[in-house]
Amino acid sequence: MKTSLTAAIAFATASVLAVPALAQGGMPITTEEVEAAQAEWGQGIVDISAVYTQGGDYEARARQHLDTLYNYGNSMVLFKPTLAAEDQFRGTYDEALSYFVRGMRAEDTGFAIKGWTNVRFENEGIVTDDDNAIAMGNYFFTGPDGSVTKVEYTFGYVRGADGKLKINTHHSSVPFQPATQVAAAN
């Protein structure tokens, strides 16, 4: 009896250690949560633009955006902004803030203060794997004049300590243009 009890305890201990953190109280990430996080991200960009246009504290709104939606301070965040060439990657909170509202990098003109009035996500797909998720597709930014800019994206998500999804990977880029299209545009 003692041997079987010891074996059962060893098996239970090994099982608990092998179970992902989500099974110890968290919930698996769902597609619906990812879509809600995307909508919140898009609305955040629109809000930052609106606060800027109205002469308000747009930097505070951008900080709220980063604090609420990104996983800075809890783990590494892989961030490759759309319009970054000299400093392609923004691994720190301050570098991300600089990209969104301009600041510490000369190339940063404030992506989130360009007057965006709408952001729409069009997912190619969303992959969920219990405690993380990844989404890829295009998102479309509507400018103040009604023009629409198409951007390709990949976002990775983890569940934060507050139970909400946090971005731990964000890669954006403008769509590829073959050399013939680039030459014709110039």
CA 175 vs. chain centroid, Å, equals: 19
pLDDT higher than 80, residue 1 = no
Residues, the chain, total?
186
Range of the domain at 103: 30-185
Residue 80: what pLDDT?
78
Residue 22: what pLDDT?
45
CA dihedral 173, 179, 180, 182 (to 10 degrees): 50
Residue 152 lies in a domain: yes
Tokens of 69: 């939606």
Task: Kindly report the CATH number assigned to the domain that includes residue 136.
Answer: 3.10.450.50
Tokens of 150: 């198409």
pLDDT higher than 70, residue 137 = yes
Sign of CA dihedral 136, 98, 110, 176: negative
Residue 12 lies in a domain: no
Q: pTM, whole model, 2 decimals?
A: 0.79
> Tens digit of pLDDT for each residue in 46-103?
999 999 999 999 999 999 999 999 999 888 888 877 766 666 667 788 888 988 897 7
pLDDT higher than 50, residue 21 = no
100/153 Cα distance (integer angstroms):
16
DSSP 12-39: HHHHHHHS-GGGGT-----HHHHHHHHH
pLDDT band at 185 (very low <50, low <70, confident <90, very high): low
Taking residue 45's Cβ as centre, other Cβ atoms within 10 Å add up to 22
Residue 140 lies in a domain: yes
Count of domains forming the chain: 1
Of the candidates 153, 143, 118, the residue with the CA atom closest to the CA atom of residue 44: 118
Residue 8 lies in a domain: no
Residue 181: what pLDDT?
59
Residue 21 lies in a domain: no
